[in-house]
Amino acid sequence: MKLYNLKDHSEQVSFAQAVQQGLGKGQGLFFPEQLPKFSAQEIEALLKMDFITRSAKILSAFIGNEINDNDMHRLVQNAFQFPAPVKSVEDDIGSLELYHGPTLAFKDFGGRFMAQALVQVAADKKITILTATSGDTGAAVAHAFYHLPNIRVVILYPEGKISPLQEKLFCTLGDNIHTIAIQSDFDACQALVKKAFDDEELKTTIGLNSANSINISRLLAQICYYFEAYAQLTAKQREQLVISVPSGNFGDLTAGLLAKTMGLPIKRFIAATNANDTVPRYLETGKWEPHKTVATLSNAMDVSQPNNWPRIEEIYQREGWVLKSLGHAAVSDEVSVKTVQELDKKGYLSEPHGAIAYRALRDQLQEGEYGLFLGTAHPAKFKEVVEDILGRSISLPSALAERAEMPLLSHYMPDDFTKLRDFLISLTW
Ligand SMILES: *Cc1c(COP(=O)(O)O)cnc(C)c1O
Protein backbone atom coordinates (compact mmCIF):
# COMPACT_ATOMS: atom_id res chain seq x y z
CA MET A 1 0.00 0.00 0.00
CA LYS A 2 1.21 3.48 -0.88
CA LEU A 3 0.06 6.62 0.89
CA TYR A 4 0.88 10.26 0.33
CA ASN A 5 1.00 13.27 2.63
CA LEU A 6 -1.95 15.56 1.91
CA LYS A 7 0.22 18.59 2.62
CA ASP A 8 3.11 17.45 0.45
CA HIS A 9 2.28 14.83 -2.15
CA SER A 10 5.96 14.10 -2.71
CA GLU A 11 6.17 12.44 0.71
CA GLN A 12 5.12 8.86 0.04
CA VAL A 13 5.06 6.06 2.57
CA SER A 14 4.08 2.40 2.92
CA PHE A 15 1.32 1.19 5.23
CA ALA A 16 3.95 0.13 7.79
CA GLN A 17 5.46 3.62 7.78
CA ALA A 18 2.08 5.36 7.92
CA VAL A 19 0.97 3.24 10.87
CA GLN A 20 4.18 3.93 12.76
CA GLN A 21 4.48 7.61 11.88
CA GLY A 22 0.85 8.59 12.23
CA LEU A 23 1.41 12.03 10.70
CA GLY A 24 3.62 13.15 7.83
CA LYS A 25 5.83 16.21 7.48
CA GLY A 26 4.25 19.52 8.45
CA GLN A 27 1.60 17.56 10.37
CA GLY A 28 0.11 16.38 7.08
CA LEU A 29 -2.32 13.46 7.03
CA PHE A 30 -1.57 10.32 5.05
CA PHE A 31 -4.03 9.32 2.36
CA PRO A 32 -4.15 6.14 0.20
CA GLU A 33 -2.81 6.52 -3.33
CA GLN A 34 -5.18 3.82 -4.58
CA LEU A 35 -8.81 3.70 -3.53
CA PRO A 36 -9.70 0.07 -4.20
CA LYS A 37 -13.07 -0.60 -5.85
CA PHE A 38 -15.21 -3.72 -5.61
CA SER A 39 -17.61 -4.68 -8.41
CA ALA A 40 -21.29 -5.24 -7.58
CA GLN A 41 -20.63 -8.99 -7.74
CA GLU A 42 -17.67 -8.74 -5.38
CA ILE A 43 -19.76 -6.69 -2.94
CA GLU A 44 -22.48 -9.34 -3.17
CA ALA A 45 -19.95 -12.05 -2.30
CA LEU A 46 -18.46 -10.01 0.55
CA LEU A 47 -21.86 -9.45 2.12
CA LYS A 48 -22.34 -13.22 2.44
CA MET A 49 -19.13 -13.66 4.45
CA ASP A 50 -18.83 -13.52 8.23
CA PHE A 51 -17.67 -10.26 9.82
CA ILE A 52 -14.04 -11.33 10.37
CA THR A 53 -13.47 -12.90 6.94
CA ARG A 54 -15.12 -10.00 5.14
CA SER A 55 -13.23 -7.39 7.18
CA ALA A 56 -9.89 -9.07 6.45
CA LYS A 57 -10.71 -8.92 2.71
CA ILE A 58 -11.64 -5.23 2.89
CA LEU A 59 -8.45 -4.37 4.76
CA SER A 60 -6.30 -6.45 2.42
CA ALA A 61 -7.79 -4.60 -0.56
CA PHE A 62 -6.17 -1.44 0.84
CA ILE A 63 -3.09 -2.79 2.56
CA GLY A 64 -2.08 -5.36 -0.06
CA ASN A 65 0.91 -7.64 0.40
CA GLU A 66 2.45 -5.76 3.34
CA ILE A 67 0.42 -8.09 5.56
CA ASN A 68 -0.30 -11.56 4.19
CA ASP A 69 -3.82 -13.04 4.21
CA ASN A 70 -3.25 -15.36 7.17
CA ASP A 71 -1.74 -12.62 9.32
CA MET A 72 -4.52 -10.23 8.35
CA HIS A 73 -7.18 -12.73 9.35
CA ARG A 74 -5.48 -13.23 12.71
CA LEU A 75 -5.10 -9.49 13.37
CA VAL A 76 -8.74 -8.81 12.56
CA GLN A 77 -9.84 -11.74 14.71
CA ASN A 78 -7.84 -10.38 17.67
CA ALA A 79 -9.19 -6.88 17.12
CA PHE A 80 -12.89 -7.45 16.36
CA GLN A 81 -13.99 -9.71 19.20
CA PHE A 82 -17.45 -8.23 19.53
CA PRO A 83 -20.43 -7.69 17.22
CA ALA A 84 -21.78 -4.55 15.48
CA PRO A 85 -25.52 -5.24 15.43
CA VAL A 86 -28.18 -3.16 13.70
CA LYS A 87 -31.19 -2.69 16.00
CA SER A 88 -34.52 -1.56 14.63
CA VAL A 89 -35.71 1.70 16.18
CA GLU A 90 -38.56 2.65 13.83
CA ASP A 91 -39.92 1.20 10.58
CA ASP A 92 -37.53 3.27 8.52
CA ILE A 93 -34.67 3.76 11.00
CA GLY A 94 -32.13 1.48 12.63
CA SER A 95 -29.23 2.01 15.00
CA LEU A 96 -25.83 0.55 14.20
CA GLU A 97 -24.60 -0.26 17.70
CA LEU A 98 -20.83 0.09 17.74
CA TYR A 99 -20.46 -0.01 21.50
CA HIS A 100 -20.25 -3.67 22.42
CA GLY A 101 -16.45 -3.68 22.77
CA PRO A 102 -14.42 -3.55 26.00
CA THR A 103 -14.65 0.24 26.42
CA LEU A 104 -18.23 0.50 25.20
CA ALA A 105 -17.61 2.83 22.26
CA PHE A 106 -16.92 2.51 18.53
CA LYS A 107 -13.30 3.51 19.04
CA ASP A 108 -12.61 -0.05 20.19
CA PHE A 109 -12.72 -1.16 16.55
CA GLY A 110 -10.10 1.30 15.29
CA GLY A 111 -8.01 1.26 18.45
CA ARG A 112 -7.73 -2.51 18.64
CA PHE A 113 -6.95 -2.98 14.96
CA MET A 114 -4.32 -0.26 15.15
CA ALA A 115 -2.66 -1.95 18.13
CA GLN A 116 -2.56 -5.25 16.28
CA ALA A 117 -1.26 -3.67 13.07
CA LEU A 118 1.42 -1.72 14.89
CA VAL A 119 2.78 -4.74 16.74
CA GLN A 120 2.77 -6.60 13.41
CA VAL A 121 4.68 -3.99 11.37
CA ALA A 122 7.02 -2.64 14.08
CA ALA A 123 8.55 -6.04 14.81
CA ASP A 124 10.65 -5.57 18.01
CA LYS A 125 11.06 -1.79 17.97
CA LYS A 126 10.25 0.12 21.18
CA ILE A 127 7.40 2.56 20.71
CA THR A 128 5.84 5.39 22.75
CA ILE A 129 2.31 6.18 21.75
CA LEU A 130 1.21 9.74 22.43
CA THR A 131 -2.40 10.67 21.90
CA ALA A 132 -4.99 13.25 22.92
CA THR A 133 -8.52 12.26 23.78
CA SER A 134 -11.79 14.10 24.25
CA GLY A 135 -13.08 11.04 26.05
CA ASP A 136 -13.36 7.77 24.22
CA THR A 137 -10.22 7.44 22.11
CA GLY A 138 -8.13 7.28 25.26
CA ALA A 139 -10.00 4.37 26.74
CA ALA A 140 -10.00 2.46 23.48
CA VAL A 141 -6.29 3.02 22.85
CA ALA A 142 -5.36 2.20 26.45
CA HIS A 143 -7.26 -1.07 26.46
CA ALA A 144 -6.07 -2.01 22.99
CA PHE A 145 -2.37 -1.70 23.99
CA TYR A 146 -2.60 -2.69 27.65
CA HIS A 147 0.21 -5.15 28.49
CA LEU A 148 1.44 -5.38 24.86
CA PRO A 149 5.25 -5.77 24.72
CA ASN A 150 7.62 -2.93 23.67
CA ILE A 151 4.81 -0.41 23.59
CA ARG A 152 3.91 2.28 26.10
CA VAL A 153 1.02 4.68 25.85
CA VAL A 154 0.77 8.30 27.03
CA ILE A 155 -2.70 9.82 26.89
CA LEU A 156 -3.54 13.53 27.31
CA TYR A 157 -7.06 14.59 28.18
CA PRO A 158 -8.70 17.88 29.25
CA GLU A 159 -9.00 17.90 33.05
CA GLY A 160 -12.61 17.91 34.23
CA LYS A 161 -13.98 17.83 30.68
CA ILE A 162 -14.55 14.09 30.33
CA SER A 163 -17.06 12.07 32.31
CA PRO A 164 -15.87 10.58 35.64
CA LEU A 165 -16.57 7.11 34.33
CA GLN A 166 -14.70 7.74 31.09
CA GLU A 167 -11.75 8.82 33.18
CA LYS A 168 -11.94 5.70 35.38
CA LEU A 169 -12.01 3.47 32.35
CA PHE A 170 -8.52 4.35 31.15
CA CYS A 171 -6.79 6.20 33.99
CA THR A 172 -6.85 3.23 36.37
CA LEU A 173 -4.88 0.73 34.31
CA GLY A 174 -1.24 1.50 35.10
CA ASP A 175 1.54 -0.76 33.72
CA ASN A 176 2.37 0.53 30.22
CA ILE A 177 -0.49 3.08 30.23
CA HIS A 178 0.31 6.65 31.41
CA THR A 179 -2.44 9.29 31.59
CA ILE A 180 -2.08 13.08 31.95
CA ALA A 181 -4.90 15.50 32.80
CA ILE A 182 -4.14 18.82 31.06
CA GLN A 183 -5.57 22.01 32.58
CA SER A 184 -7.20 23.15 29.33
CA ASP A 185 -9.54 21.90 26.58
CA PHE A 186 -9.25 19.10 24.03
CA ASP A 187 -7.92 21.31 21.24
CA ALA A 188 -5.04 22.31 23.54
CA CYS A 189 -4.28 18.60 24.18
CA GLN A 190 -4.35 17.99 20.45
CA ALA A 191 -2.00 20.94 19.88
CA LEU A 192 0.47 19.55 22.46
CA VAL A 193 0.49 16.22 20.64
CA LYS A 194 1.13 17.96 17.34
CA LYS A 195 4.00 19.92 18.89
CA ALA A 196 5.59 16.73 20.13
CA PHE A 197 5.41 15.26 16.64
CA ASP A 198 7.12 18.33 15.21
CA ASP A 199 9.99 17.85 17.66
CA GLU A 200 12.30 15.59 15.65
CA GLU A 201 14.72 15.03 18.52
CA LEU A 202 11.98 13.99 20.91
CA LYS A 203 10.41 11.83 18.24
CA THR A 204 13.48 9.69 17.71
CA THR A 205 14.53 9.65 21.38
CA ILE A 206 11.33 8.04 22.59
CA GLY A 207 10.10 6.38 19.37
CA LEU A 208 7.05 8.61 19.18
CA ASN A 209 3.89 7.31 17.63
CA SER A 210 0.31 8.59 17.41
CA ALA A 211 -2.83 6.61 17.95
CA ASN A 212 -5.78 8.97 17.64
CA SER A 213 -8.16 9.17 14.73
CA ILE A 214 -5.43 10.53 12.44
CA ASN A 215 -3.78 7.08 12.22
CA ILE A 216 -4.79 5.55 8.92
CA SER A 217 -5.10 2.02 10.36
CA ARG A 218 -7.95 3.17 12.59
CA LEU A 219 -9.87 4.60 9.65
CA LEU A 220 -9.40 1.51 7.52
CA ALA A 221 -10.69 -0.69 10.36
CA GLN A 222 -13.77 1.48 10.70
CA ILE A 223 -14.72 0.91 7.05
CA CYS A 224 -15.50 -2.69 7.98
CA TYR A 225 -18.52 -1.98 10.16
CA TYR A 226 -20.27 -0.05 7.41
CA PHE A 227 -20.16 -3.25 5.35
CA GLU A 228 -21.28 -5.22 8.42
CA ALA A 229 -24.26 -2.90 8.85
CA TYR A 230 -25.19 -3.21 5.19
CA ALA A 231 -24.97 -7.00 5.37
CA GLN A 232 -27.69 -7.01 8.04
CA LEU A 233 -30.20 -4.97 6.03
CA THR A 234 -33.03 -6.30 3.86
CA ALA A 235 -32.98 -5.80 0.08
CA LYS A 236 -35.60 -3.06 0.46
CA GLN A 237 -33.66 -1.23 3.17
CA ARG A 238 -30.51 -1.34 1.03
CA GLU A 239 -32.16 0.43 -1.92
CA GLN A 240 -31.96 3.97 -0.58
CA LEU A 241 -29.71 3.91 2.42
CA VAL A 242 -28.90 7.10 4.33
CA ILE A 243 -26.33 6.99 7.14
CA SER A 244 -26.11 9.64 9.84
CA VAL A 245 -22.79 9.95 11.66
CA PRO A 246 -22.30 11.81 14.96
CA SER A 247 -19.07 13.66 14.29
CA GLY A 248 -16.22 15.24 16.22
CA ASN A 249 -12.89 14.68 14.48
CA PHE A 250 -14.74 13.21 11.49
CA GLY A 251 -12.86 9.90 11.43
CA ASP A 252 -16.03 7.85 11.46
CA LEU A 253 -17.50 9.79 8.56
CA THR A 254 -14.22 9.47 6.62
CA ALA A 255 -14.43 5.69 7.02
CA GLY A 256 -18.05 5.67 5.83
CA LEU A 257 -17.15 7.68 2.76
CA LEU A 258 -14.28 5.27 2.04
CA ALA A 259 -16.78 2.37 2.24
CA LYS A 260 -18.78 4.19 -0.42
CA THR A 261 -15.73 4.74 -2.63
CA MET A 262 -15.13 0.95 -2.47
CA GLY A 263 -18.57 0.43 -3.98
CA LEU A 264 -20.87 -0.04 -0.98
CA PRO A 265 -24.15 1.45 -2.25
CA ILE A 266 -24.88 4.17 0.28
CA LYS A 267 -27.16 6.88 -1.09
CA ARG A 268 -25.95 9.67 1.13
CA PHE A 269 -24.42 10.59 4.47
CA ILE A 270 -25.40 13.12 7.09
CA ALA A 271 -22.68 14.75 9.19
CA ALA A 272 -24.25 15.50 12.56
CA THR A 273 -22.43 17.67 15.10
CA ASN A 274 -23.25 19.30 18.41
CA ALA A 275 -22.85 23.06 18.96
CA ASN A 276 -19.23 22.73 17.74
CA ASP A 277 -20.54 23.26 14.24
CA THR A 278 -17.54 24.28 12.13
CA VAL A 279 -18.43 21.76 9.41
CA PRO A 280 -22.19 22.42 9.12
CA ARG A 281 -21.45 26.16 8.88
CA TYR A 282 -18.73 25.51 6.32
CA LEU A 283 -21.10 23.46 4.19
CA GLU A 284 -23.65 26.27 4.36
CA THR A 285 -21.38 29.24 3.74
CA GLY A 286 -18.22 27.85 2.15
CA LYS A 287 -16.23 29.56 4.90
CA TRP A 288 -13.99 27.63 7.29
CA GLU A 289 -14.39 29.57 10.53
CA PRO A 290 -13.79 27.47 13.67
CA HIS A 291 -15.14 29.04 16.84
CA LYS A 292 -13.78 28.40 20.30
CA THR A 293 -14.64 24.85 21.39
CA VAL A 294 -17.68 24.75 23.66
CA ALA A 295 -18.45 22.03 26.20
CA THR A 296 -21.61 20.03 25.46
CA LEU A 297 -23.37 16.91 26.74
CA SER A 298 -21.88 14.98 23.82
CA ASN A 299 -18.33 15.71 24.95
CA ALA A 300 -16.58 13.21 22.66
CA MET A 301 -17.71 15.48 19.82
CA ASP A 302 -16.48 18.74 21.37
CA VAL A 303 -14.06 19.51 18.57
CA SER A 304 -14.05 22.74 16.60
CA GLN A 305 -11.09 21.96 14.32
CA PRO A 306 -11.79 18.41 13.14
CA ASN A 307 -8.48 16.93 12.11
CA ASN A 308 -9.79 14.44 9.56
CA TRP A 309 -11.53 17.08 7.47
CA PRO A 310 -8.75 17.34 4.83
CA ARG A 311 -9.20 13.63 4.11
CA ILE A 312 -12.90 14.17 3.48
CA GLU A 313 -12.15 17.01 1.07
CA GLU A 314 -9.65 14.71 -0.67
CA ILE A 315 -12.20 11.91 -1.05
CA TYR A 316 -14.76 14.27 -2.58
CA GLN A 317 -12.19 15.69 -4.93
CA ARG A 318 -10.74 12.33 -6.01
CA GLU A 319 -14.19 10.81 -6.56
CA GLY A 320 -15.57 13.91 -8.27
CA TRP A 321 -18.38 14.17 -5.71
CA VAL A 322 -19.99 17.47 -4.76
CA LEU A 323 -19.32 18.51 -1.18
CA LYS A 324 -22.65 20.35 -1.08
CA SER A 325 -24.40 16.97 -1.31
CA LEU A 326 -23.14 15.99 2.14
CA GLY A 327 -26.07 16.26 4.56
CA HIS A 328 -25.40 18.13 7.77
CA ALA A 329 -26.95 19.33 10.99
CA ALA A 330 -25.81 20.88 14.25
CA VAL A 331 -27.89 19.75 17.22
CA SER A 332 -28.04 21.73 20.47
CA ASP A 333 -27.85 20.19 23.94
CA GLU A 334 -31.49 21.12 24.47
CA VAL A 335 -32.60 19.18 21.41
CA SER A 336 -30.25 16.27 22.25
CA VAL A 337 -31.91 15.95 25.66
CA LYS A 338 -35.40 15.94 24.12
CA THR A 339 -34.25 13.37 21.58
CA VAL A 340 -32.87 10.95 24.19
CA GLN A 341 -36.29 11.21 25.91
CA GLU A 342 -38.15 10.75 22.61
CA LEU A 343 -36.12 7.63 21.79
CA ASP A 344 -36.69 6.26 25.30
CA LYS A 345 -40.47 6.59 24.75
CA LYS A 346 -40.05 4.52 21.58
CA GLY A 347 -38.36 1.88 23.74
CA TYR A 348 -34.79 2.65 22.65
CA LEU A 349 -32.23 3.63 25.26
CA SER A 350 -29.66 6.04 23.79
CA GLU A 351 -27.23 8.74 24.90
CA PRO A 352 -26.44 12.25 23.57
CA HIS A 353 -23.93 11.30 20.79
CA GLY A 354 -26.13 8.73 19.09
CA ALA A 355 -29.21 10.86 19.72
CA ILE A 356 -27.68 13.73 17.73
CA ALA A 357 -27.25 11.44 14.74
CA TYR A 358 -30.81 10.12 15.14
CA ARG A 359 -32.21 13.68 15.31
CA ALA A 360 -30.49 14.76 12.10
CA LEU A 361 -31.60 11.56 10.37
CA ARG A 362 -35.24 11.75 11.50
CA ASP A 363 -35.44 15.38 10.39
CA GLN A 364 -33.88 14.77 6.98
CA LEU A 365 -34.98 11.26 5.97
CA GLN A 366 -37.20 11.26 2.90
CA GLU A 367 -40.05 9.05 1.71
CA GLY A 368 -38.76 5.66 0.52
CA GLU A 369 -35.39 5.98 2.22
CA TYR A 370 -34.06 3.80 5.03
CA GLY A 371 -31.84 5.41 7.62
CA LEU A 372 -29.11 4.15 9.90
CA PHE A 373 -27.59 6.23 12.64
CA LEU A 374 -24.39 5.28 14.39
CA GLY A 375 -24.74 4.42 18.06
CA THR A 376 -21.21 5.40 18.99
CA ALA A 377 -21.32 4.86 22.78
CA HIS A 378 -23.16 2.66 25.26
CA PRO A 379 -25.74 4.71 27.24
CA ALA A 380 -24.06 3.58 30.47
CA LYS A 381 -20.83 5.20 29.35
CA PHE A 382 -22.60 8.53 29.93
CA LYS A 383 -24.53 7.27 32.94
CA GLU A 384 -24.85 10.55 34.88
CA VAL A 385 -26.04 12.49 31.86
CA VAL A 386 -28.49 9.83 30.73
CA GLU A 387 -29.92 9.33 34.23
CA ASP A 388 -30.35 13.06 34.56
CA ILE A 389 -32.16 13.24 31.24
CA LEU A 390 -34.45 10.28 31.89
CA GLY A 391 -34.96 10.75 35.63
CA ARG A 392 -34.21 7.13 36.46
CA SER A 393 -31.15 5.02 37.05
CA ILE A 394 -29.58 2.79 34.43
CA SER A 395 -27.27 -0.09 35.19
CA LEU A 396 -23.56 -0.28 34.47
CA PRO A 397 -22.13 -3.14 32.43
CA SER A 398 -19.62 -5.14 34.48
CA ALA A 399 -16.54 -3.77 32.66
CA LEU A 400 -17.40 -0.28 33.88
CA ALA A 401 -18.66 -1.26 37.33
CA GLU A 402 -15.35 -2.88 38.25
CA ARG A 403 -13.24 0.01 36.94
CA ALA A 404 -15.38 2.64 38.68
CA GLU A 405 -14.11 1.44 42.06
CA MET A 406 -10.41 1.77 41.23
CA PRO A 407 -8.16 4.76 42.07
CA LEU A 408 -7.07 7.22 39.35
CA LEU A 409 -3.38 7.02 38.43
CA SER A 410 -3.21 10.21 36.31
CA HIS A 411 -0.57 12.94 36.35
CA TYR A 412 -1.72 16.58 36.29
CA MET A 413 -0.12 19.24 34.09
CA PRO A 414 -0.72 22.78 32.80
CA ASP A 415 -0.95 23.41 29.02
CA ASP A 416 2.84 23.65 28.73
CA PHE A 417 4.84 21.77 26.11
CA THR A 418 8.14 21.97 28.00
CA LYS A 419 6.63 20.14 30.97
CA LEU A 420 5.19 17.46 28.73
CA ARG A 421 8.49 17.04 26.93
CA ASP A 422 10.35 16.61 30.23
CA PHE A 423 7.85 14.04 31.37
CA LEU A 424 8.17 12.00 28.17
CA ILE A 425 11.97 12.00 28.32
CA SER A 426 11.89 10.93 31.97
CA LEU A 427 9.91 7.73 31.28
CA THR A 428 11.98 4.56 31.50
CA TRP A 429 11.40 1.13 30.03
C1 LIG B 1 -15.14 9.92 19.13
C2 LIG B 1 -16.63 9.90 19.26
C3 LIG B 1 -17.46 10.49 18.30
C4 LIG B 1 -16.89 11.28 17.14
O5 LIG B 1 -16.22 10.46 16.23
P6 LIG B 1 -15.18 11.11 15.17
O7 LIG B 1 -14.67 9.97 14.39
O8 LIG B 1 -14.14 11.82 15.98
O9 LIG B 1 -15.98 12.06 14.36
C10 LIG B 1 -18.82 10.36 18.43
N11 LIG B 1 -19.36 9.70 19.48
C12 LIG B 1 -18.61 9.14 20.43
C13 LIG B 1 -19.27 8.45 21.55
C14 LIG B 1 -17.21 9.20 20.35
O15 LIG B 1 -16.49 8.65 21.29
pTM of the model: 0.89
CATH 3.40.50.1100 in the chain: give the residue spans. 2-53+107-215+406-426, 83-104+217-390
CB atoms within 10 A of CB 122: 17
CA triple 136-100-404, angle to 5 deg: 55
Distance 132 CA to ligand 1 centre (A): 13
- Pocket test of ligand 1: the residue of 97, 98, 136, 213 to mutate, having most ligand atoms within 8 Å of its CB, is 136
Residues with Cβ within 6 A of ligand 1? 105, 107, 135-136, 213, 246-252, 300-301, 353, 376-377
Find, among 363, 337, 341, 362, the residue nearest to 352 by Cα.
Answer: 337
Report the separation in Å between the CA atom of 304 and the middle of ligand 1, taken as the mean of its atom positions.
13
The Å distance, Cα 183 to ligand 1 centre, comes to 22
CA of 10 to the centre of ligand 1 (A): 31
Q: How many residues does the chain have?
A: 429
Pocket test for ligand 1, best of 353, 359, 381 (most atoms within 8 A of CB): 353
Residue-level pLDDT at 102: 85
Please report the atom of ligand 1 found closest to the CA of residue 136: 15
For ligand 1, the distance from its centroid to the CA atom of residue 303, given in whole angstroms, is 10
DSSP secondary structure letters along 369-427: -EEEEEE-B-GGGGHHHHHHHHTS--PPPHHHHHHHTSPP--EEE-S-HHHHHHHHHH-
Distance from the alpha carbon of residue 205 to the mean position of ligand 1, in angstroms: 32
| Closest ligand 1 atom number to CA of residue 247 | 9
What is the reported pLDDT for 355? 98
* CA of 165 relative to ligand 1 center, distance in Å: 17
**Distance between CA 361 and CA 381 in Å, rounded?**
23
Give the residue ranges of the chain where pLDDT is below 50.
Answer: none
- For the stretch 195-238, pLDDT in tens is 998 999 999 999 988 766 689 999 999 999 999 999 999 999 99
pLDDT digits (tens, 9 = 90+) for 28-79: 999 999 999 999 999 999 999 999 999 999 999 999 999 999 999 999 999 9
User: Is domain 2-53+107-215+406-426 in CATH 3.40.50.1100, yes or no?
Assistant: yes
Q: Report the nearest-CA residue for atom 14 of ligand 1.
A: 300
The predicted structure's pLDDT at residue 20: 87
Nearest CA to ligand 1 atom 1: 300
d(CA 240, ligand 1 centre) in Å: 25
The CATH architecture of the domain made up of 83-104+217-390 is: 3-Layer(aba) Sandwich (3.40)
